């Protein structure tokens, strides 16, 4: 995002804003994501997450298993924020 962009959505450069849904049950796809470079990228995305809408975007971009693994490396206040936002998003789904 540029500094003048007022959008609340966090989409890293190079990421398709309308990605094809990933078949998370497909082990090859998940194993391709579960490498240190990919996990580090997702950790960076989680650490940059500023609000519940950004987290919702990340949930659409990355496979659930990868978000779970990356979240293990998020610490402190940001981890607490993510947990709160996740609770909000999960309540919206029900």
Supply the pLDDT for residue 82.
97
Supply the pLDDT for residue 44.
97
- CA dihedral (79, 80, 84, 87) positive or negative: positive
For the stretch 8-64, pLDDT in tens is 333 344 444 444 444 444 445 788 888 999 999 999 999 999 999 999 999 999 999
Query: Where does the pLDDT of residue 94 fall: very low under 50, low under 70, confident under 90, or very high at 90 and above?
Result: low
**Two tokens, residue 58:** 């990340």
Average pLDDT of the chain, as a whole number: 78
Domain ranges of the chain: 27-93
Helix ranges (DSSP H) in the chain: 27-33, 36-48, 52-61, 64-71, 76-93
Give CA–CA dist 47/25, Å, rounded. 26
Please choose, from the candidates 35, 37, 54, 36, the residue with its C-alpha nearest in 3D space to the C-alpha of residue 46: 54
For the stretch 10-22, pLDDT in tens is 334 444 444 444 4
């Amino acid at each position: 995002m540029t500094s003048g962009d007022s959008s609340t959505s966090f989409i890293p450069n190079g990421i398709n804003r309308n990605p094809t849904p990933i078949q998370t049950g497909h082990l090859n796809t998940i194993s391709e994501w579960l490498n240190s470079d990919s996990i580090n990228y997702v950790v960076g995305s989680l650490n940059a997450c500023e609000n519940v809408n950004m987290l919702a975007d990340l949930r659409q971009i990355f496979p659930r298993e990868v978000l779970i693994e990356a979240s293990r490396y998020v610490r402190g206040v940001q981890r607490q924020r993510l947990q709160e936002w996740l609770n909000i998003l999960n309540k919206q789904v029900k």
